[in-house]
A and B are shown apart, each in its own frame.
Chain A
Amino acid sequence: MINTAVIDDHEAIRIGMSAALAAHPGHEVTLVGGAGTVDEFLENGTAADVILLDLQLDDGSDPLVNTERLIDAGYKVLVYSIADNVRLLRRALAGGAAGVCRKAEPISVTIASIEAVADGQVVISQEILAAIEGDASYVAANLGPREREVLALYAGGFEVPEVAERLTITENSVKEYLKRIRVKYTNVNRPAASKLDLFRRAIEDGIVPPVEPHQ
């Protein structure tokens, strides 16, 4: 049994999720709760394994802070978003989110992601790696030439076997590269050693102060 909860400021999304899970039998996922903000959720103290976290909440909170708080509270975080700004996605990844799901994806895909995250896996997807690739300063500072090559091909749309074929390496090496890039991104970005570091990272992300439109 995997207990999940949705943190989203739209009730319709939480209800839709619940209905979709019910309509799609043959999985272990149960929706046990929901909240509009991380504050509200942590206050409720819902017992859940995986949290589906929307990137843009009504309180204007920062995805990095939200993710970190949830992980500190012992939850695993899966980003659940519509079409959010890549920079917000990067914030959530830097905060340690394990994966990304789009709300418009078929529910089976979402379920598979929830299961993987519950299992402790780091989800790699083209969307995530494209978001990392777009963080040019990070790529330049932290990735070697081979890693960049793998990243460019994968972010450009090739599947793992195709990347392997192109670079004449094994599929497993490709996966290892991707996982390393992915994990490094979180590790490099957090936890911030000092406020100054935090500020510097934030500037690198280009989001000081966070100015995403919400209203």
Chain B
Amino acid sequence: MKLNLQTGQLTAWVERGVALFCLGTLIPAAFGAAAQIPYMASWWTITVGGGIVVASIGMMIFSFLGRRLKGWALVYVAIVTIGLITWPVGWQSPDPATTSPWLWMCLGVAAVCLAVTSGTAWGLGYALVAGLLFAVVRMTPSGQSTTLLGAVQDMIVLVMNSSVVIVALGVVGHAFTSLDELEYASRREATAAAIDEALVEERHRLDGIVHDEVMTTLVAAAQNPNDAHISAQAQRAVDRLAQAEAPAETRLPVTGDQLAWLVNDVVSALVPQARLVSELEELAVPQQVASTLGMVVREVALNVAKHSKAEHVEVRLSSPRPGDVLVSITDDGIGFDPEQVPKRRLGLQVSVVYRMWAIGGHAEILSRPGDGTTVNLSWGSHGEPTQRIKMDPKERSERPRRMPDIPELSRSALVRLVWILVALQFLLGWTSLDRVTSTWQVFAAQALAVLATMVTLWRSEQNPMKRSSAIVAVTLLIGVTLLVQSVLPQGDWPGYATWHSTVVMVLMVSILVRGQEQVAWIGVGVYAVVSAVWAVTEGLSAGDVLRVGFGPFSWMLVAQLLQTWLIEMADRMVASRRSSAAANRAIAQSFSKMVLRDVWLTQLRAQVGPLLSRIADPNYELTAAEREACLAQESRLRDAMRAGNLVTELTSDAIEVARGRGVDVRLVDSRGTRLPEDVRAALTQHLGRLLTDANTKRVVARAAPEGYEDVVTVLAVKEDGTSELVGLDAHGQMNTR
């Protein structure tokens, strides 16, 4: 069975992405750490540094094995947090640090890990707390003894960066989840519709055979029993039924929904008052098991209808364990003492217990006199992997909906977010005005940046954006970069005076997302070259070059991957929708064939099979009683076809007996659509009373056309000529007219 895309699968992909992110962060972190390790206590480096490496690798392995990430992610978060708190203690050098603690890179990642595994609120909360802690650490000697302003700047950057990633993941996750749910719901609906359609088709086909061949044979045989033509007609009827029974080419497994349908079909024909509760979700059982379960349920329902005198019957389908099926039929009837029922009695023993045993299942009958009866039918898949085509319901319920608290971010919200990010960078730029050699260039650059942002977000409802706008925006951004660089201090790291790099990153990613990938990549490339040239001419360290020049580059890479991945996912959705439409048809046909073969035809064969083969035998002479039986069976089939809405199988039995006594029973269905269950139940009871009453001479039950006050009317004429007309309203309430 082809694996279909569904909820859960994508969360696995998100987790894989996060794991990759953790692993990727190790590289720049290692650069930073290399410079600081000599000053750190070895116990700190081993526990915290080693712990982070182990947790990152562990996450990677687990996520690609398809296992849950949460444990490893929490370990990662804990190690990073402890590492941050113990940083000042682990700092062994008497001199203050010359650079920021390398751990800061892992703090944002930890916030993202927490968001993905425990929820967005946790992630954002952690980002805030970690930002505060980091600010405090920054002001200690081990954290470069920065000023309060510098610490606050660091905090803003940390909180902001991780928030952006968390929100972005939330948006993606939300989009996927809703897409998945939509897909799942529509697939379910399509399957149900396909099954309904296939069943109606099979039913029509069978009714056609019953009408054209079986009933015609019965009538003709009753009129003129011993004629070669009639035998030939009977043989044709037998052949047509055998043809209909021909096994389907494919016997696809039966799903939970289908099993529920089957059980409902079987039960409601016998016990209209039964209430069906299906808790089966995604499972698949072999057809043979499904049809045996159907037959056994039928047997149990027959017992309930015949003996229990129950008012309430509940049929519950559930999966106690993934892949298993448990059908519980509970009634509030008179019950019985299972010990008192002779073991050899057919009924329950053979038809229920033995049949369940034959498919590797188990039947349990719990009853006490006066206390109702419960029959539990269980069947286990024994963990056969082929029996599970989808995720188990249990596993699914364990998976919390990821990021449930992210509201659907609209386009305008995202536009606003970009503006906020740009504005925050301006703020950082203003707080670093003391570091630059001249200020007017900074303001000019910010004015250009505002222009670039406007151009980038212009007409954001159109995608892709115009190529010319993208080129203008990129050119403006390069202008911003050159302006800012022209006033940066020489020789040392300028701190947040390089606010422009984040602006460049945000806008380049926006251009990428808006469909101008090439322009965005060229822009980032030019930016990287310009930055690298500046950094080299200023004599900055390799780490700083990476920080300024390749920050936007790495973010572009992440965005590009995310985008590619989104598009690929969408393609897979379309493909899976196509393949599932075909699969739906196949499943529906296979299932309806099974119902036809194992349920409807089985019943029909039991009803008329022996009679038909006798008629088909040219050497057999039908007795008068058999000719009567032909007419009785014909009436029964006619009732089922014309007024199946009105009678259950047991009522049909009672009608057959009553007709045998000479009672005139007529069923009329002027309604056509299904009767409400309450009405069916009340009607079954009422007819049962009338048909067993020796004084009844004539009964006419009629379903009124829709829109009438009485849904059903039942006329009973007694031997003494008096008549009684009873109406049943939509709730099954009786009134005498």
Known: A83-B637, A133-B705, A213-B205. A13 touches B670 (CB 8 A): no
| Complex contact B637–A19 (CB within 8 A) | no
Contact with B along A161-202 (1 / 0, CB 8 A): 010000000000000000000000000000000000000000
| Complex contact A83–B205 (CB within 8 A) | no
**Taking the complex as formed, is A157 at the interface, i.e. its CB lies under 8 A from any CB of chain B?**
yes
Name the residue on A nearest B721 (C-beta): A162
Q: What are 9 residue pairs bridging A and B, where the CB atoms are less than 8 Å apart in the complex? A: A10-B212, A15-B227, A15-B229, A56-B212, A83-B642, A104-B638, A136-B707, A157-B700, A213-B204
| Complex contact B668–A214 (CB within 8 A) | no
Known: A126-B668, A134-B672, A156-B702. A104 touches B631 (CB 8 A): yes
One of B215-223, B418-426, B574-582 at the interface: B215-223
| Complex contact A157–B229 (CB within 8 A) | no
Contact with B along A90-111 (1 / 0, CB 8 A): 0000000000000110010000
| Complex contact B223–A19 (CB within 8 A) | yes
Known: A104-B635, A213-B207. A16 touches B706 (CB 8 A): no
How many of chain B's residues have a CB under 8 angstroms from any CB in A?
A: 46
A139–B707 CA distance with the chains assembled, in angstroms: 12
A162 contacts across to B, CB distance below 8 A = 723
* Residue among B211, B641, B698, B699 having the largest count of chain A Cβ atoms under 10 Å: B211
Within 8 A of B (CB), among A122-166: 126-127, 130-131, 133-134, 136, 139, 152, 155-158, 162
| Complex contact A12–B229 (CB within 8 A) | yes
**Taking the complex as formed, is B369 at the interface, i.e. its CB lies under 8 A from any CB of chain A?**
no
| Complex contact B216–A10 (CB within 8 A) | yes
A178–B652 CA distance with the chains assembled, in angstroms: 31
B715 contacts across to A, CB distance below 8 A = 156-158
A134–B698 CA distance with the chains assembled, in angstroms: 22
| Complex contact B702–A130 (CB within 8 A) | yes
B705 contact from A10, A134, A213, Cβ within 8 A: A134
B216 contacts across to A, CB distance below 8 A = 10, 12-13, 82, 103
A82 contacts across to B, CB distance below 8 A = 211, 215-216, 219, 634, 638
**Taking the complex as formed, is B435 at the interface, i.e. its CB lies under 8 A from any CB of chain A?**
no
| Shortest beta-carbon contacts, A-B, top 10 | A157-B700, A134-B670, A157-B715, A213-B204, A19-B224, A83-B638, A16-B223, A12-B233, A12-B220, A16-B220
Q: How far is the CB of A53 from chain B (nearest CB, A)?
A: 15
A56 contacts across to B, CB distance below 8 A = 211-212
**Taking the complex as formed, is A86 at the interface, i.e. its CB lies under 8 A from any CB of chain B?**
yes
**Taking the complex as formed, is B725 at the interface, i.e. its CB lies under 8 A from any CB of chain A?**
yes
| Complex contact A20–B223 (CB within 8 A) | yes
Q: How far is the CB of B210 from chain A (nearest CB, A)?
A: 9
A residues contacting B by CB (< 8 A) are 10-13, 15-17, 19-20, 56, 82-84, 86, 103-104, 107, 126-127, 130-131, 133-134, 136, 139, 152, 155-158, 162, 213-215
B442 contacts across to A, CB distance below 8 A = none
A19 contact from B217, B227, B700, Cβ within 8 A: B227
| Complex contact A130–B219 (CB within 8 A) | no
B641 contacts across to A, CB distance below 8 A = 83
A12 contact from B204, B230, B706, Cβ within 8 A: B230
B666 contact from A13, A19, A20, A157, Cβ within 8 A: A157
Interface of B: prevailing SS? helix
10 further A-B pairs in the complex, CB-CB below 8 A; given A12-B216, A19-B227, A158-B723: A15-B227, A15-B230, A19-B223, A19-B224, A82-B219, A82-B638, A86-B672, A126-B668, A136-B705, A156-B704
**Taking the complex as formed, is B163 at the interface, i.e. its CB lies under 8 A from any CB of chain A?**
no
A15 contacts across to B, CB distance below 8 A = 220, 224, 227, 229-230
Known: A104-B222, A104-B635. A130 touches B668 (CB 8 A): yes
A11–B234 CA distance with the chains assembled, in angstroms: 12
A133–B671 CA distance with the chains assembled, in angstroms: 10
Q: How far is the CB of A128 from chain B (nearest CB, A)?
A: 11
A10–B669 CA distance with the chains assembled, in angstroms: 27
| Complex contact A215–B668 (CB within 8 A) | no
Name the residue on B nearest A18 (C-beta): B224
Q: How far is the CB of B241 from chain A (nearest CB, A)?
A: 14
**Taking the complex as formed, is B320 at the interface, i.e. its CB lies under 8 A from any CB of chain A?**
no
B204 contacts across to A, CB distance below 8 A = 213
Q: How far is the CB of B521 from chain A (nearest CB, A)?
A: 59
Name the residue on A nearest B218 (C-beta): A104
A64–B715 CA distance with the chains assembled, in angstroms: 32
B215 contact from A83, A126, A127, A213, Cβ within 8 A: A83
Known: A13-B220, A157-B698. A214 touches B723 (CB 8 A): no
A152–B634 CA distance with the chains assembled, in angstroms: 27
| Complex contact B219–A13 (CB within 8 A) | yes
Name the residue on B nearest A127 (C-beta): B668
**Taking the complex as formed, is B208 at the interface, i.e. its CB lies under 8 A from any CB of chain A?**
yes
Within 8 A of A (CB), among B684-737: 698-700, 702, 704-708, 713, 715, 723, 725
| Complex contact B229–A215 (CB within 8 A) | no
Within 8 A of A (CB), among B311-327: none
